[in-house]
Structure 1
Amino acid sequence: MSTDVSAVSTRRPQKRPNGQWKIDGTEPLNHNEEFKQADNGLNVRERIETIYSKQGFDSIDQDDLRGRFRWWGLYTQRRPGVPAGAHNSLPPEEVDDKYFMLRVRIDGGALSTEQLRVIGEISREFARDTADVTDRQNIQLHWVGVEDVPEIWRRLESVGLGTTEACGDTPRVILGSPVAGIAADEIIDPTPVIQEIAQLYIGDPELANLPRKYKSAITGHPSQDVVHEINDFALVGVVHPDHGPGYDLWVGGGLSTNARLAERLGVFVRQEEAAEVWHAVTQTFRDYGFRRLRNKARLKFLLAEWGPEKFRRIIEDEYLGRRLTDGPAPAAPDTPGDHVGVHRQKDGKFYIGITPTVGRVSGTLLVQLADLLEKHGSHRLRTTPHQKLVVLDIPEEEVEAASAALADLGLDPRPSVFRRSTIACTGIEFCKLAIVETKTTAARTIDALEERLADVADQMPVRLTLHINGCPNSCARIQTADIGLKGQLLPDGDGGTSPGFQVHLGGGLTFVDRDEAGLGRTVRGLKVTAEELVDYVELLVRRYLAGRQTGETFARWSHRVDESELQKEVEPV
């Protein structure tokens, strides 16, 4: 179906329109919809190359700067010194710095050492040696000037990378299993599907004006390692009793301030039809998604209104023209999906999951890592949805030497539970929406907890997730963590404020507990300052270890116990 305005009905219902193109017509109902319809976001690349990179930051059109630049992975970063919360009261030009965050799109998280080295060199030359591995399997750079963007694109594209639709109201990066094609216990390799979708549809003008961002995840690994429950579109590997290996389809997940887990549509998707099904769901979102209010424009709101049965019927009747096969649900995983540690591949070599602290690396480190891998016989690696890395193809005789060298770089394959399981968003250092600092806070918290809880390290579970977010938008997935921390300013007792967090407890997805997987609970009045954070987490963990039942997860324990057990101090009886 064409998205040309003239090809879509413009009839209006009597009720207030939601901006659903197939129902309400295509008249823009807010400024975001106006600028998207006025000029496709993909078209801004030519202006960046021919005008803005030559005339500088001050020449950039405002709708390009704060809108269409995102279609090419560019966000203005926070101006240093802008106080917390100022984005709510100051005009954007007083919050924006004249530098950009640049997001390198890495579908499936797949990188060669050559590509990694190029990203590292770009970071060192153009981004003040900054680099973060994100929980969307991308790598983000900071301090990028618009003057350098065309050269950065040239270098990325010379090794098969890019920034196309890394941000914006577009199909964002496709999460993929970090062990796709190599794991001995893999159900199905999703690599061909990820590549087909990326080649056919990423950068397609027909899909470059969605109601809002659109996140996809595909895995064929039994650990279900792509957090599929919080993506707009997800395929999870299953074995159909009649048709063999394929995928179970999930739709409509997302967090932010209105968290909702995805739902199964009950269909079995064969490998050869997976890209077509992705296209059908994406078009459904484009044509029926709500566009009037930005905070109601994600696919989860459409699914909540329709339900999975109607959603399935629409994609079958209006976009596929056929019925999909009914299919089984995936089995609950019994191993964590972060792939940290040393594991044998199906070809006899080994992959090693390593742990940059909350994804914070540097260009220099990325170059060093590329050199290290090649020295030990590897030429490829993967990013993960947990801000970690997995290096592939290590020969057995090189495993111990490579592991020791990785640890020397601060990329330990045998980390503590908190270094393994903590993630943090960008935070106030660079993000214009953030209220508190996150990356440094997380790193200091991990260091302190490793020291303070050393006496009970052998009693800790395999994973105990700590997610730290700088604002309410949940880029660090706070509602699905064992301990989720939402940044906010708290009264300091002297008429001012100090950085702190609202606490969410007992959230989790697949590996936690299939019967109780879901969103964390909030406890009445439970907030901690940044200074109290280490004390509180230590206290909470010790209470869990002392009070858990046999085999009880932190998530189940935190939902079972009385609220008093979760407070900073237990109130006397």
Structure 2
Amino acid sequence: MPATRSEAGAEVAGFNVLVGGALGGQQPELARPLDVFVQSDSVVPVALAILEVFRDHGPREQRKKARLKVLLGQWGLERFRAAVEVRMGAPLERAAESATRQHGGDHIGISPQRQPGRSVVGCLVPVGRVSGDDLIEFGRLAAEYGTAELRLTVQQNVLIPNVPDEFLGALLAEPLLATYSPKPSPWIRSMVTCTGNDYCHFSLIDTKAEALKLAGALEERYEIDEPVRIQMSGCPHACGQHRAGEIGLLGDRKRVDGEILDAADIFADGCLGED
């Protein structure tokens, strides 16, 4: 996590290290602070040292227990930290002040840039799935209305930067933006799913299609102003991080009157931190 400390009156930027996070399985855990601060040139060596300690000492008897969180549970954080220091061959700096203040937003919509008269248009990719043809069309729009540049966000949405303000009206009228809207429904805006059984044999349900149907049904029934984080996983591996959603859905199969039906276990009030 981004962090800063003072050195000789100057601010030094770097990262605080957290370890052992895992949202899948029956015993999910958030990553825990290792009480270590690293500057950018030490990120790779420290990460390698952590991996090497886990490689040499982590449990291997059962595949499901071959996780860093299990080793941390056996050893505790101080013993693990000391082992990483031995691997590094030098003491590690203690954690510095966190530089994380608030969530940066999803970048959906029209946002003015620093450059006067230019804006970035953030387009929602519903449940993170876009076709190759549509990506090619995004490229055409970026070339016609911007500077032939596209950016992708961590939420798997598409940004078209450097759009002159006088071109915004024409860009927003393009048919592609009816599907990938800069003004999406609050129900679909923060919807997160895993790949689903289209491309993953672990998934029990078609998470992508079910999420779209769910968002559509909720939009018909309820009017809301703020997005709700609905997160769906197709199996306990939790690639959709269902435990972190305000509403979480875990795919399942149930027998009803002799027929096997798609189903979901429901979770509520999940989060990944105070914010």
Q: Could you state the TM-score of these two structures normalised by the residue count of structure 1?
A: 0.44
User: Are 2:115 and 1:342 equivalent residues in the alignment?
Assistant: no
Structure 1 match to 2:3: 238
Asked if 1 retains the 8 angstrom alpha-carbon contact of 2:4 and 2:99, the reply is no
For residues 33-64 of structure 1, give each alpha carbon's deviation from its aligned partner in whole angstroms, at most 9, with x where no partner exists.
xxxxxxxxxxxxxxxxxxxxxxxxxxxxxxxx
* Deviation of the 1:451 alpha carbon: 2.3
* Deviation of the 1:332 alpha carbon: 5.7
* Deviation of the 1:366 alpha carbon: 1.0
Q: What's the secondary structure of 1:253's corresponding residue?
A: coil
Structure 1 match to 2:126: 357
Matches of 1:395 and 1:324, distance apart in 2: 49
Matches of 2:263 and 2:145, distance apart in 1: 44
Matches of 2:253 and 2:24, distance apart in 1: 18
Q: Percent identity?
A: 32
Structure 2 match to 1:305: 74
Aligned counterpart for 2:231 among listed residues 441, 458, 467: 467
Mapping 1:355-394, distance limit 5 Å: 355-394=124-163
Structure 2 match to 1:328: 96
Amino acid corresponding to residue 96 of structure 2 in structure 1:
P
Amino acid corresponding to residue 268 of structure 2 in structure 1:
L
Structure 1 match to 2:21: 253
Asked if 2 retains the 8 angstrom alpha-carbon contact of 1:479 and 1:504, the reply is yes
Q: 1:343 to 1:335 in 2, by over 3 A?
A: farther
For residues 451-499 of structure 1, give each alpha carbon's deviation from its aligned partner in whole angstroms, at most 9, with x where no partner exists.
2223xx3xx33x311112222221111010111101111232x133321
* Deviation of the 1:396 alpha carbon: 4.5
Q: What's the secondary structure of 1:370's corresponding residue?
A: helix
Matches of 1:485 and 1:425, distance apart in 2: 11
* Deviation of the 1:265 alpha carbon: 1.4
Structure with more of its chain in strand, by fraction? 2
* Deviation of the 1:379 alpha carbon: 3.6
Asked if 1 retains the 8 angstrom alpha-carbon contact of 2:150 and 2:158, the reply is yes
Gaps of 5+ in 2: none
Q: 1:265 to 1:392 in 2, by over 3 A?
A: farther
Mapping 1:95-244, distance limit 5 Å: 236-242=1-7, 243-244=11-12
For residues 69-128 of structure 1, give each alpha carbon's deviation from its aligned partner in whole angstroms, at most 9, with x where no partner exists.
xxxxxxxxxxxxxxxxxxxxxxxxxxxxxxxxxxxxxxxxxxxxxxxxxxxxxxxxxxxx
Asked if 1 retains the 8 angstrom alpha-carbon contact of 2:139 and 2:150, the reply is no
Asked if 2 retains the 8 angstrom alpha-carbon contact of 1:406 and 1:413, the reply is no
* Deviation of the 1:277 alpha carbon: 2.0
Matches of 1:317 and 1:347, distance apart in 2: 49
Matches of 2:74 and 2:169, distance apart in 1: 53
* Deviation of the 1:401 alpha carbon: 4.1
Structure 1 match to 2:242: 478
Structure 2 match to 1:504: 267
Amino acid corresponding to residue 495 of structure 1 in structure 2:
G
Q: 1:339 to 1:290 in 2, by over 3 A?
A: farther
Aligned counterpart for 2:258 among listed residues 495, 520, 530: 495
User: Are 2:195 and 1:426 equivalent residues in the alignment?
Assistant: yes
- Out of 244-253 and 277-286, give the one that drifted further: 277-286
Q: 1:373 to 1:315 in 2, by over 3 A?
A: same
Q: 1:264 to 1:491 in 2, by over 3 A?
A: same
Matches of 1:483 and 1:404, distance apart in 2: 33
Matches of 2:91 and 2:165, distance apart in 1: 47
Number of residue pairs matched? Answer: 270
Asked if 2 retains the 8 angstrom alpha-carbon contact of 1:407 and 1:413, the reply is no
Matches of 1:272 and 1:505, distance apart in 2: 40
Matches of 1:407 and 1:261, distance apart in 2: 38
Q: 1:397 to 1:465 in 2, by over 3 A?
A: same
* Deviation of the 1:251 alpha carbon: 1.3
Amino acid corresponding to residue 328 of structure 1 in structure 2:
A
Asked if 2 retains the 8 angstrom alpha-carbon contact of 1:467 and 1:476, the reply is yes
